Amino acid sequence: MVPLFSEEETAFLDGVRRFVDEYVLPQTRAWEDARGFPADIWQRMAPLGLTAMTLPKNLGGRGYSCLAYVEACRELAKGDPALSMNVAAVNALCVAHFDRFASADQREKYLGGVISGTTEMAWGLTEPDAGSDARRVQTVATPIAGRPGFFHLNGEKMFITNGGRAKLIVIIARTSEKELSAFFIETDQPGFRLQERIHTVGVSASNTVRFTLMDAVGWHTPCRFEDAIGLLFRGRLGIAGMAVGIAEKAFELTVEYAKEREQFNRRLADMQSVQNMIADSAMEIEASRLLLHKGAWMYDQGMPIVTEASYAKLYASETSNRVTNRAVQIHGGRGMTRFYLVEKLWRDAKLTEIGEGCSEIQRLVIAKQVLR
Ligand SMILES: Cc1cc2nc3c(=O)[nH]c(=O)nc-3n(C[C@H](O)[C@H](O)[C@H](O)COP(=O)(O)OP(=O)(O)OC[C@H]3O[C@@H](n4cnc5c(N)ncnc54)[C@H](O)[C@@H]3O)c2cc1C
């Protein structure tokens, strides 16, 4: 059998698992209560390789495969889904931007800080009137006279992951009536105005914000809208990895619980209705994992993954929601309390059906490819 991972990737994933078991999982409740991660979380993750997993080695990254990236997202989600979401988005959308579109000057200025975890990042596409319909972005970019490559950005962005902590944000903005492109903005400038922290029902430790840009200075990273948005294919696999990790954790906890809890003089695990739920969850998790690995493997072979990314994201996210729902059901009343992690996983799973393209958009993508 061909090994799936290089020795370096195997060591990396072992390190991620240890980090999850020893540091992340024990604090996931505290981070949710505090509605935030520790201030040094990215700097802690940097030596593990989590800040620049897939960035090529010649740019200072680890150069790991997409398969290693989705596995890292999956492992992190078993400890804290919100952290997994952040790592998935920052690596696939923000750090990848340096690989694909940034100039040598931009890399020189920012990449060191990004890789070391001192320059936290975010990716800003969504706006109040541009969600699923991403082409409706209304943030406008106007060239600044006498400063080639620099633009004034005006508009509003919402639901931006890590936006309240980020020092550097990739902004998708309109350069003409028909064209959109991407810009780096530094948040430490008067034109960047944080408007509110958005509190969500799940993934609550993640710093999700709404902000406005008022003549904010943006540094153009020339790319077509389609190219910038194309980063979402690998990003969707990251969210699928997150979904599988959530489902696996909820399933593991539920199997343990079903073996311990007794009613009617037998274990829950001995009741056929419960067994049916366990069997369905086991099978759906396995199918999600296979779709995830197939999509990542195809990406690593240089093959297009438009459909496969949507298969994996759609199936894994809906599985994650079904599995966590069954997990709460099998835990009964206890499943609805804070004493059992399954209620948190159930809430966290919801994001995977919405972020980086809701389920309905994934179905549209698949149908479009099938009906071509
Ligand atoms: C916690 C969190 C973190 C996020 N992080 C980021 C981030 O870092 N950067 C970023 O840019 N965005 C981010 N988002 C935004 C996210 O990508 C959007 O919420 C998502 O794309 C859906 O857009 P919307 O919320 O505007 O919903 P809408 O587009 O208003 O859609 C609402 C619902 O309408 C239905 N629908 C919409 N269009 C169609 C259609 N064509 N066919 C059928 N049904 C349809 C779907 O059921 C959909 O769920 C984040 C969101 C959340 C909740």
The total of structural domains in the chain comes to 3
User: Counting atoms of ligand 1 from 1, which one is nearest the CA of 157?
Assistant: 11
Q: pLDDT class for 90, splitting at 50, 70, 90?
A: very high
Enclosing domain of residue 311: 227-370
126 CA to centre of ligand 1 in angstroms: 8
| Whether 356 is catalytic | yes
Q: Which residues contact ligand 1 via a Cβ below 6 A?
A: 89, 122-126, 131-132, 159-161, 200, 203, 208, 351, 354-358, 360, 364
Residues 241 and 185 in one domain: no
* Cα 227 from Cα 215, distance rounded (Å): 25
CATH (domain of 306): 1.20.140.10
Q: What is the pLDDT of residues 320-354, one digit of tens each?
A: 999 999 999 999 999 999 999 999 999 999 999 99
Same domain, 238 and 366: yes
The ligand 1 atom nearest the CA atom of 85? 3
Select from 139, 180, 354, 368 the residue to mutate for testing ligand 1; criterion: most ligand atoms less than 8 Å from CB: 354
**Residues 201, 129 within the same domain:** yes
Ligand 1 geometric centre to CA of 27 (Å): 29
Tell me if 1 is assigned to some domain.
no
Same domain, 231 and 366: yes
Secondary structure (DSSP) of 266-314: EEGGGSHHHHHHHHHHHHHHHHHHHHHHHHHHHHHTT---HHHHHHHHH
Residue after which a domain boundary falls, among 116, 131, 157: 116
Does 330 lie in the same domain as 239? Answer: yes
For the chain, how many residues are written? 372
Distance 246 CA to ligand 1 centre (A): 20
- Asked if residue 158 lies in contact with residue 141, where contact means CB atoms within 8 angstroms, the answer is no
Residue nearest to atom 47 of ligand 1 (CA): 360
29 located within any domain: yes
What pLDDT, on the 0 to 100 scale, is given for residue 192? 98
Cβ 332 vs Cβ 183: under 8 Å: no
Residue nearest to atom 7 of ligand 1 (CA): 160
Domain-terminating residue out of 116, 142, 169: 116
Check whether residue 237 and residue 353 sit in a common domain.
yes
pLDDT band at 1 (very low <50, low <70, confident <90, very high): low
CB of 319 closer than 8 Å to CB of 363: no
Residue 25 shares a structural domain with residue 129: no
> What are the tens digits of pLDDT across the range 166-195?
999 999 999 999 999 999 999 999 999 999
Q: What pLDDT was estimated at residue 92?
A: 97
Residue bearing the CA closest to ligand 1, atom 49: 358
pLDDT, mean over the chain = 97
Pairing of strands 208-220, 192-197: antiparallel
Domain boundary among 193, 208, 224: 224
Question: Which of 84, 91, 126, 208 to mutate for ligand 1's pocket (most ligand atoms within 8 Å of CB)?
Answer: 126
- In angstroms, the Cα distances linking 219 to 153, 172, 296, 328 are 10, 12, 31, 47
Residue 231 has pLDDT above 70, yes or no: yes
Whether 337 is in a domain gets the answer yes
Cα-only R_g, the chain: 21
The answer to whether residue 19 is domain-embedded is yes
CATH label of the domain that carries residue 27: 1.10.540.10
Biggest distance spanned by C-alpha atoms of the chain: 81
| Ligand 1 mutation target, pool 168, 358, 362, 364, most atoms within 8 A of CB | 358
